[in-house]
Amino acid sequence: MPYLEILAPSATAAKKQALVTAVTDGIVSAFGVSPATVTVYFLPIHDADYGHEGRLGAGDAGARVFAKLHAYRRELPARRAAAAVVTEAIATCFDMPSRNVAVYFMDRALDEVAHDGHMACDET
Protein backbone atom coordinates (compact mmCIF):
# COMPACT_ATOMS: atom_id res chain seq x y z
CA MET A 1 0.00 0.00 0.00
CA PRO A 2 -0.43 2.65 -1.50
CA TYR A 3 -2.39 1.22 -4.42
CA LEU A 4 -3.54 3.37 -7.31
CA GLU A 5 -6.45 2.25 -9.51
CA ILE A 6 -6.83 4.15 -12.79
CA LEU A 7 -10.07 3.85 -14.77
CA ALA A 8 -9.21 5.32 -18.14
CA PRO A 9 -9.07 4.75 -21.89
CA SER A 10 -6.32 2.49 -23.21
CA ALA A 11 -2.78 3.80 -23.57
CA THR A 12 0.45 2.44 -24.98
CA ALA A 13 2.77 0.44 -22.78
CA ALA A 14 5.40 3.19 -23.06
CA LYS A 15 2.97 5.86 -21.83
CA LYS A 16 1.79 3.62 -18.99
CA GLN A 17 5.40 2.94 -17.98
CA ALA A 18 6.11 6.67 -17.85
CA LEU A 19 3.01 7.14 -15.67
CA VAL A 20 4.05 4.29 -13.34
CA THR A 21 7.52 5.78 -12.94
CA ALA A 22 6.25 9.32 -12.28
CA VAL A 23 3.50 8.20 -9.89
CA THR A 24 5.79 5.86 -7.96
CA ASP A 25 8.44 8.56 -7.56
CA GLY A 26 5.81 11.13 -6.56
CA ILE A 27 4.06 8.94 -4.01
CA VAL A 28 7.39 7.86 -2.51
CA SER A 29 8.30 11.53 -2.11
CA ALA A 30 4.90 12.70 -0.85
CA PHE A 31 4.17 9.81 1.52
CA GLY A 32 7.69 8.82 2.59
CA VAL A 33 7.23 5.16 1.59
CA SER A 34 9.39 2.63 -0.21
CA PRO A 35 8.86 2.13 -3.97
CA ALA A 36 8.25 -1.55 -3.14
CA THR A 37 4.94 -0.56 -1.52
CA VAL A 38 3.50 1.36 -4.50
CA THR A 39 1.29 -0.54 -6.97
CA VAL A 40 -0.56 0.87 -9.99
CA TYR A 41 -3.54 -0.86 -11.62
CA PHE A 42 -4.81 0.16 -15.06
CA LEU A 43 -8.49 -0.61 -15.62
CA PRO A 44 -9.15 0.22 -19.27
CA ILE A 45 -12.51 1.76 -20.07
CA HIS A 46 -13.68 1.48 -23.66
CA ASP A 47 -15.95 4.08 -25.26
CA ALA A 48 -18.96 1.74 -24.96
CA ASP A 49 -18.23 1.35 -21.22
CA TYR A 50 -18.27 5.06 -20.44
CA GLY A 51 -21.09 7.56 -20.09
CA HIS A 52 -21.13 11.23 -19.18
CA GLU A 53 -23.83 13.91 -19.18
CA GLY A 54 -26.45 11.30 -20.00
CA ARG A 55 -24.69 10.03 -23.14
CA LEU A 56 -22.76 6.88 -23.80
CA GLY A 57 -19.21 7.47 -25.02
CA ALA A 58 -16.62 10.16 -24.41
CA GLY A 59 -18.09 12.75 -26.78
CA ASP A 60 -16.35 15.94 -27.87
CA ALA A 61 -15.08 16.80 -24.39
CA GLY A 62 -13.12 13.55 -24.17
CA ALA A 63 -13.22 10.94 -21.47
CA ARG A 64 -12.70 11.76 -17.83
CA VAL A 65 -10.30 9.62 -15.83
CA PHE A 66 -11.12 8.40 -12.34
CA ALA A 67 -8.24 7.41 -10.07
CA LYS A 68 -8.59 5.90 -6.60
CA LEU A 69 -5.57 6.06 -4.31
CA HIS A 70 -5.84 3.51 -1.50
CA ALA A 71 -3.44 4.26 1.35
CA TYR A 72 -3.13 4.79 5.07
CA ARG A 73 -4.36 8.25 5.94
CA ARG A 74 -1.81 11.02 5.35
CA GLU A 75 -1.83 14.67 6.29
CA LEU A 76 -3.28 17.19 3.84
CA PRO A 77 0.10 18.47 2.49
CA ALA A 78 1.11 14.90 1.57
CA ARG A 79 -2.24 14.27 -0.16
CA ARG A 80 -1.90 17.58 -2.04
CA ALA A 81 1.55 16.58 -3.29
CA ALA A 82 0.36 13.12 -4.33
CA ALA A 83 -2.72 14.56 -6.08
CA ALA A 84 -0.57 16.94 -8.12
CA VAL A 85 1.82 14.20 -9.27
CA VAL A 86 -0.92 11.67 -10.04
CA THR A 87 -3.02 14.23 -11.93
CA GLU A 88 -0.10 15.41 -14.08
CA ALA A 89 1.05 11.86 -14.88
CA ILE A 90 -2.47 10.75 -15.85
CA ALA A 91 -3.13 13.83 -17.98
CA THR A 92 0.17 13.29 -19.80
CA CYS A 93 -0.37 9.56 -20.29
CA PHE A 94 -3.85 9.94 -21.75
CA ASP A 95 -3.24 13.23 -23.61
CA MET A 96 -6.00 15.11 -21.79
CA PRO A 97 -6.39 18.29 -19.81
CA SER A 98 -5.87 17.91 -16.07
CA ARG A 99 -9.45 19.13 -15.49
CA ASN A 100 -10.57 15.72 -16.83
CA VAL A 101 -8.72 13.87 -14.05
CA ALA A 102 -10.34 13.10 -10.67
CA VAL A 103 -8.25 11.60 -7.85
CA TYR A 104 -10.11 10.20 -4.85
CA PHE A 105 -8.24 9.27 -1.70
CA MET A 106 -9.52 6.03 -0.20
CA ASP A 107 -7.89 6.41 3.20
CA ARG A 108 -7.71 3.37 5.46
CA ALA A 109 -6.89 2.91 9.12
CA LEU A 110 -4.41 0.21 10.12
CA ASP A 111 -7.26 -1.89 11.50
CA GLU A 112 -8.96 -1.92 8.07
CA VAL A 113 -6.10 -3.50 6.09
CA ALA A 114 -4.63 -7.00 6.05
CA HIS A 115 -1.59 -8.23 4.16
CA ASP A 116 -0.66 -11.91 4.03
CA GLY A 117 -3.59 -12.66 6.34
CA HIS A 118 -2.37 -10.34 9.10
CA MET A 119 -3.97 -7.08 10.16
CA ALA A 120 -1.71 -4.09 9.58
CA CYS A 121 -2.47 -2.84 13.10
CA ASP A 122 -0.91 -6.05 14.50
CA GLU A 123 2.39 -5.60 12.65
CA THR A 124 5.34 -4.08 14.43
**Percent of all residues in the chain with a pLDDT value above 70, rounded to a whole number:** 99
User: What letter does residue 121 receive in the DSSP assignment?
Assistant: G
The confidence score (pLDDT) of residue 9 equals 92
Cβ count near 69 (within 10 Å): 24
Q: Give the pLDDT band of residue 43 (cuts 50, 70, 90).
A: very high
What's the confidence (pLDDT) of residue 75? Answer: 97
**CA pair distance 32, 9, nearest whole angstrom:** 30
Alpha carbon distance 38, 53 (integer Å): 33
pLDDT band at 61; cut points 50, 70, 90: confident
Q: What's the pTM?
A: 0.91
What ranges do the domains of the chain cover? 3-122
Sequence letter at residue 41:
Y
Question: Pick from 55, 54, 50: which is nearest to 96 by CA?
Answer: 50
Give, in degrees to the nearest 5, the angle at Cα 58 between 7 and 44. 25
| CATH class assigned to 3-122 | alpha beta
